[in-house]
């Protein structure tokens, strides 16, 4: 059986015109771009930083090993749709990350012809929380229980808005009256809160995986290999520091409410005895993705909470490089046990290099 192809005919045609010797790795200047450029340079690629003209890119001067060889300024990120021919001319392969997808918006990102790392078909399953649930639960993962109707809130729940807003605007409720109060006092729109989810008490682990369809050794999954690159915990303001000021009830009286705005990432390792469960979850997600949409390729992250019964509850998946990999530009406590101790950014570049050598870009780009 031949290797699965994820590129459509348009992307295949564009790739056919690329000079394999002159491939340029591009990323949007934010999120994990330092790591992506650093990794690509280490693998010998030229790099290009796409940014909005108003963005201050001077900080790259402070990090020469991670500064793109060339900048590509635009008035607005959505101009990339009109200007992709210029990028195609330069033999560009785009490495997408969460900020690019968020700012460009999913429908625009899906329209890109510019060869992009990973399978774009994942977006239909990732960008909608109920489709995500079907995928993850279908892959055998536990998820926090969902409350369909706010009148049924009978335990602590987290009320979430749609789309990746970095936890902005979320609130915790413990009863229906809490919900009504939060909506009315915060002047919020009830219909924005499309997900009401059981609040899982435990420790948070954000697990960073890499799935390669190009290798059939190591931890075999589907037709390829599953790798565990690293893990992190998000630093979230103000929830992570709230306890210092008193109980949440006390704080409510002062009009202070928890928020979940990500400000950074903390490196982590997990108890070794939990690794079998970690791989089981990664495997379930990959296998189900192959069944649902032809398979995820490359980096993905499972966002989990582990309870004191040592059960993992997954509340979200992100199907590309996450900023949680940034603490590991020169490798992680897991990458150290693999062939080479490298970052996720470098792992992506190496995958592209390998695919060029094998003539298999159509299997990792879409």
Ligand X SMILES: Nc1ncnc2c1ncn2[C@@H]1O[C@H](COP(=O)(O)OP(=O)(O)O)[C@@H](O)[C@H]1O
Q: Is 303 a residue that touches ligand X (CB under 6 A)?
A: yes
Q: Find how far residue 140's CA is from the centre of its chain.
A: 20
Q: Is 165 a residue that touches ligand X (CB under 6 A)?
A: yes
d(CA 310, CA 17): 51
d(CA 36, CA 291): 29
- On whether the CB atoms of residues 265 and 233 are closer than 8 A, the answer is yes
Which structure tokens are listed for 176?
């229906």
Instruction: Pick one of 68, 118, 144, 345: the residue that binds ligand X (CB under 6 A).
Output: 144
Instruction: Pick one of 6, 100, 200, 281: the residue that binds ligand X (CB under 6 A).
Output: 200
Q: Is 324 a residue that touches ligand X (CB under 6 A)?
A: no
Q: Is 315 a residue that touches ligand X (CB under 6 A)?
A: yes
Q: Is 235 a residue that touches Mg ion (CB under 5 A)?
A: no
Which structure tokens are listed for 304?
């989990």
Within 234-273, which residues bind ligand X (CB under 6 A)?
234, 236, 260
Q: Is 273 exposed, middle or buried (0-12, 13-18, 19+ CB in 10 A)?
A: exposed
Q: Is 128 a residue that touches Mg ion (CB under 5 A)?
A: no
Least separation in angstroms between residue 260's CB and Mg ion is 9
- On whether the CB atoms of residues 106 and 132 are closer than 8 A, the answer is no
Contact of residue 315 among ligand X, Mg ion, none (CB under 5-8 Å per partner type): ligand X
Q: Which stretch binds Mg ion (CB under 5 A): 16-24, 105-113, 131-139, 302-310?
A: 302-310
d(CA 346, CA 95): 12
Taking CB atoms, the residue at the shortest distance from Mg ion is 316
Paired strand residues for 243: none
Site mask for Mg ion (CB under 5 A), range 310-329, x = bound = ------x-------------
d(CA 227, CA 219): 7
Contact of residue 199 among ligand X, Mg ion, none (CB under 5-8 Å per partner type): ligand X
d(CA 131, CA 179): 25
| Distinct helix (H) and strand (E) counts, the chain | 11, 13
Q: Is 354 a residue that touches Mg ion (CB under 5 A)?
A: no
Instruction: Pick one of 158, 159, 207, 296: the residue that binds ligand X (CB under 6 A).
Output: 158
Q: Is 117 a residue that touches ligand X (CB under 6 A)?
A: no
Q: Which stretch binds ligand X (CB under 6 A): 22-30, 194-202, 242-250, 323-331?
A: 194-202
- On whether the CB atoms of residues 60 and 49 are closer than 8 A, the answer is yes
In the complex with ligand X, the residue whose CB is nearer, 135 or 260, is 260
The vertex-40 CA angle with 38 and 45, nearest 5°, equals 130
Could you list the residues that contact ligand X (CB under 6 A)? 144, 158, 160, 164-167, 170, 197-200, 204, 234, 236, 260, 303, 305, 315-316
Residues found near Mg ion in the complex (CB under 5 A):
303, 316
């Amino acid at each position: 059986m031949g290797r699965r192809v994820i590129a459509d005919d348009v992307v295949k045609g564009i790739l056919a015109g690329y000079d394999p010797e002159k491939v340029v790795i591009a990323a949007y200047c934010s999120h994990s771009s330092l790591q992506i450029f650093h990794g690509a340079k280490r693998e010998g690629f030229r790099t290009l930083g796409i940014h909005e003209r108003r963005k201050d890119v001077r900080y790259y001067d402070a990090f020469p090993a991670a500064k793109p060889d060339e900048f590509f300024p635009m008035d607005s990120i959505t101009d990339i749709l009109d200007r992709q021919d210029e990028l195609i001319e330069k033999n560009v392969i785009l490495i997408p990350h969460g900020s690019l997808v968020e700012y460009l918006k999913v429908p625009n990102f899906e329209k890109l012809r510019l060869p992009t790392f990973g399978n774009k078909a994942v977006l239909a399953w990732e960008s909608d929380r109920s489709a995500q649930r079907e995928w993850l639960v279908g892959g055998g993962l536990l998820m926090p229980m969902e409350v369909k109707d706010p009148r049924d809130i009978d335990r602590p729940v987290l009320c979430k808005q749609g789309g990746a807003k970095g936890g902005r605007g979320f609130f915790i409720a413990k009863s229906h009256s809490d919900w009504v109060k939060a909506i009315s006092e915060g002047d919020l729109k009830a219909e924005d809160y499309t997900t009401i989810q059981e609040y899982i008490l435990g420790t948070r682990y954000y697990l960073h995986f890499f799935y390669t369809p190009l290798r059939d050794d190591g931890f075999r999954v589907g037709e390829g290999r599953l790798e565990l690159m690293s893990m992190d915990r998000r630093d979230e303001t103000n929830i992570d520091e709230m306890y210092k000021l008193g109980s949440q009830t006390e704080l409510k009286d002062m009009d202070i409410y928890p928020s979940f705005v990500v400000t950074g990432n903390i490196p982590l390792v997990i108890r070794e005895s939990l690794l079998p469960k970690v791989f089981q979850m990664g495997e379930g997600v990959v296998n189900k993705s192959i069944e649902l949409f032809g398979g995820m390729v490359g980096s993905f992250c499972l966002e989990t909470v582990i309870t004191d019964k040592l059960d993992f509850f997954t509340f979200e998946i992100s199907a590309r490089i996450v900023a949680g990999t940034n603490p590991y530009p020169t490798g992680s406590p897991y990458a150290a046990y693999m062939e080479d101790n490298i970052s996720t950014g470098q792992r992506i570049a190496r995958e592209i290099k390998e695919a060029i050598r094998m003539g298999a870009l159509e299997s990792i780009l879409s």
